[in-house]
Structure 1
């Protein structure tokens, strides 16, 4: 009679057993065609789940991230201060217009229309207001050889980080990814954002993206979530810096995430800037949005100091 090996629990595996199993698991996965319609639903996710258990990786979705997550990953936090001498320059940038753009007067009218007729007790209502400001900026910045595009609810795949207590991974959906790239690639990006952003080598010319997170109230509460999304995007794209925004539509926070060559990581954020009852803050916010998109992967600041 053939010898039947005793079944073992994952906790019984030695380090050598685990590494051997991980190698075989990776070989098995690499031989699978993920587009094969005959694959059982959820198989790839289950294989990833098994891999995470073997590697002792704790997984967290972006929505469950809090300030302690940044501390556990040794991501430092610091402030950004608006250079008061450049405030007028920022506001002028925000009011600048180009042929065919959404005019500032129309933008104001649309904001007031939303304020008067759209409930913002949910994030869905807030996003209508956010969309107006983003569309205004997009319309101004699309003249010329580059274009700016909005990708709502962009999914970031699982990304693994190391920390003292072991490995951890994150994944989730970014409320808005705002991407700037050469105009001729616009249809390629908008028709299949995942493929386009996953293969940047096939896009000739600069391509940058900003992370936007919507939060109905207390926008600063969502900053850690946005920072981890930015950290994940940097790791996936091989970047050292990415800029982003957390907003309720009425309140706007601008941030910069940096991954330095010495391995340290830092997120700096601005105060909350409000549109204001009479939209007195609109020009400033529009100008800072343009600056953030134009300098999406730069750690050098034009209008902020640290």
Structure 2
């Protein structure tokens, strides 16, 4: 048996040793099937943890992200303004119906029930209202599916200050996919969406972040989730929403080729005390889902 060579600390490794080890870890990870039931629990995460430690990557969960994080990644904010004569068109889109859908009057009734009988002091209560609006949109948009608590794995960015990675769970991923793949998607969303190319057909997803109140506070978190998802999927654009169910903020994230980005946000809209803005919000929801991966804006303009 060959003698065991002297073990070294990570700090003793040369840059060449480190790069060689990083390459071996990456090769090992790419060869492993994350859906393999025989894999020891936590093995993939431990390999990633070792990889990040060797690469000196600072890791942050989505929930800890703030505007300073966006600035460090050179993700610049910008406003979007409603084109004044487009409001009626948006409302018409929100009121459009197909046979068998959740009717707008039924939707109003369900929202009234939620408002009258569900406590909204926790995020769980807010989600019931969010679910009601999402189900209305799902019912009028064939191929749209709701994936709660979708995990986005660690994604590494390379700002000038050094490498950093992010991971976390988005409250909802709303995905539009050809209807023949619906069962496959819903049975294992992480496997279906985990790697580009698992499905050859077009897939479009929206990032949804639920907040009990102060929805603006969720913009940074949702933006990093969107940026991470774009990088994992090889997308240049993704749309998203931050909402309490009553307040709605829509945004568009654009990923640049140099790794920087831009997040364009709509004004905050509310359903209104008498649901006078419900059709408008539903129209924006449908537009966001139907055009999830394009920055061509039909109803808004940039300054």
TM-score, normalised by the number of residues in structure 2: 0.93
Relative to structure 2, which stretch is displaced further, 13-22 or 282-291? Answer: 13-22
- Identify the residue that residue 282 of structure 1 maps to in structure 2: 278
Deviation at 1:261, TM superposition (A): 3.5
- Report the CA distance between 1:14 and its aligned residue: 2.0
The equivalent of 1:141 in structure 2 is 141
Superposed, which structure 2 residues align to 1:153-302 within 5 Å? 153-261=149-257, 263-302=259-298
Q: CA separation in 2, counterparts of 1:31 and 1:305?
A: 45
The aligned residue for residue 69 of structure 1 is 69
Q: Once the 2 structures are TM-superposed, how far is the Cα of residue 203 of structure 1 from its aligned partner?
A: 3.1
Question: What is the aligned-residue RMSD (CA, Å)?
Answer: 1.9
Q: Deviations over 1:146-200 (max 9, x none)?
A: x111111111111111011111111111111111111111111111111221355
Q: How does 1:118-133 map to 2 (within 5 A)?
A: 118-133=118-133
What is the rounded CA distance, in whole Å, between the counterparts of 1:26 and 1:291 in structure 2? Answer: 39
C-alpha separation in 1, matches of 2:260 and 2:214: 28
Q: Please give the per-residue CA displacement for 1:115-172, whole angstroms capped at 9, x wherever unaligned.
A: 1000011100000000000000110112xxxx11111111111111101111111111
Write the distance in 1 (CA, Å) between the matches of 2:119 and 2:145. Answer: 26
CA distance in 2, matches of 1:213, 1:294: 18
CA–CA distance in structure 2, aligned partners of residues 125 and 106 of structure 1: 20
Structure 2 CA distance for aligned equivalents of residues 39 and 191 of structure 1: 20
Instruction: For 1:69 and 1:139, locate their aligned partners in 2 and report how far apart those are by CA, in whole Å.
Output: 37
Shift of 1:11: 2.2
Question: SS of the residue aligned with 1:242?
Answer: strand
Deviations 1:269-290 (A, max 9, x none): 0111001100111011000001
Deviations 1:182-229 (A, max 9, x none): 111111111111122135535343211111110001001001110011
In structure 1, the residue matched to 2:17 is 17
Single out whichever of 23-32 and 228-237 deviates more from structure 2.
Answer: 23-32
TM-score (norm 1): 0.92
Q: Secondary structure at the match of 1:223?
A: helix
> Mean alpha-carbon deviation: is it higher for 244-253 or for 198-207?
198-207
Q: Deviations over 1:242-287 (max 9, x none)?
A: 0010000000000000013454410000111001100111011000
- Name 1:109's counterpart in structure 2: 109
d(CA) in 1 for partners of 2:230, 2:36: 30
- Per the alignment, do residues 160 and 102 of structure 1 end up closer, same or farther by CA in structure 2, a change over 3 Å counting? same
| Residue 98 (str. 1) matches residue 98 (str. 2) | yes
- Answer whether contact 2:95 2:279 (CA < 8 A) is retained: yes
Q: Which residue of 2 aligns with 1:53?
A: 53
Offset at residue 46 of structure 1 (A): 1.8
CA distance in 1, matches of 2:35, 2:132: 37
Q: Which segments of 5 or more consecutive residues in structure 2 lack a partner in the other structure?
A: none
Unaligned runs of 5+ in 1: none
Q: Secondary structure at the match of 2:288?
A: helix
